[in-house]
Amino acid sequence: MSRTRNVFLVGPMGAGKTTIGRRLAPALGLTFYDSDEVIISRTGVDIATIFDIEGEAGFRDRESRVLDELSALDGVVIATGGGAILREENRERLRTRGQVIYLTVPLDLQLRRTRRDNQRPLLQTANPRERLAALQREREPLYRAIADIVIDTGANDSKRLARDLIKRLSATREPVQPQGR
């Protein structure tokens, strides 16, 4: 499949994929989806409950199905889950079906952004800082491998980040050439 107008946001928990995606989509005239939220609305339970009942593998199967379905659409912004890049099939679909933006975040800030939330099952541990660092060590090369744009979310608010991204996305579009006469 050729690359489309689609934009896919990848990156770790708390990087701001959901927050930025929500801003980006209307500004680009695209439709926003959040894969975690689609899974929650389809199952009627939260992600922690899916992990409890079906295990992480069951959640990852659901995530792959939802990403395959949504990324096959044209004209969407998708905020993916932090672990969506773990499976090769997901990486391949994201890489070939749109532009991939990797949102990075410094560890201290990531910890602050995720601290109040008890919905992230992988952070229900005695040492969330160490867990976040370990996940990032494993996943960083996978995020980078498929990213067209990498942007640090540490310095700016989400409004400004969305504005910067819109500029960078339009700079990577192919210009339309006038026909020669």
Ligand X SMILES: Nc1ncnc2c1ncn2[C@@H]1O[C@H](COP(=O)(O)OP(=O)(O)OP(=O)(O)O)[C@@H](O)[C@H]1O
Ligand Y SMILES: O=C(O)C1=C[C@@H](O)[C@@H](O)[C@H](O)C1
> Which residues are annotated as part of the binding site for substrate?
36, 60, 82, 139
Instruction: Identify residues 18-77 at the interface with Mg ion (CB under 5 A).
Output: 18
Residues 6+ apart with CB under 8 A from 155: none
How far apart, in whole angstroms, are the C-alpha atoms of residue 71 and residue 106? Answer: 28
Does 28 participate in binding ligand X (rule CB under 6 A)? no
- Grouping H, G, I as helix, E, B as strand and the rest as coil, residue 156 is coil
Of 3 and 106, CB closest to ligand Y: 106
Does 35 participate in binding ligand X (rule CB under 6 A)? no
How far apart, in whole angstroms, are the C-alpha atoms of residue 174 and residue 181? Answer: 21
Q: Are 79 and 56 in contact (CB under 8 A)?
A: no
Q: Which residues bind ligand Y (CB under 6 A)?
A: 13, 36, 47, 81-83, 120-122
The interface region with ligand X, picked from 49-57, 77-85, 89-97, 125-133 by CB under 6 A, is: 77-85
Of 74 and 152, CB closest to ligand X: 152
How many CB atoms lie under 10 A from the CB of residue 60?
Answer: 17
Residue 98's binding partner out of Mg ion, ligand Y, ligand X, none, with CB under 5 to 8 Å set by partner kind: none
How far apart, in whole angstroms, are the C-alpha atoms of residue 36 and residue 40? Answer: 6
Residues that bind ligand X (CB under 6 A): 11, 13-19, 36, 79, 81-82, 113, 120, 153, 157-158, 161
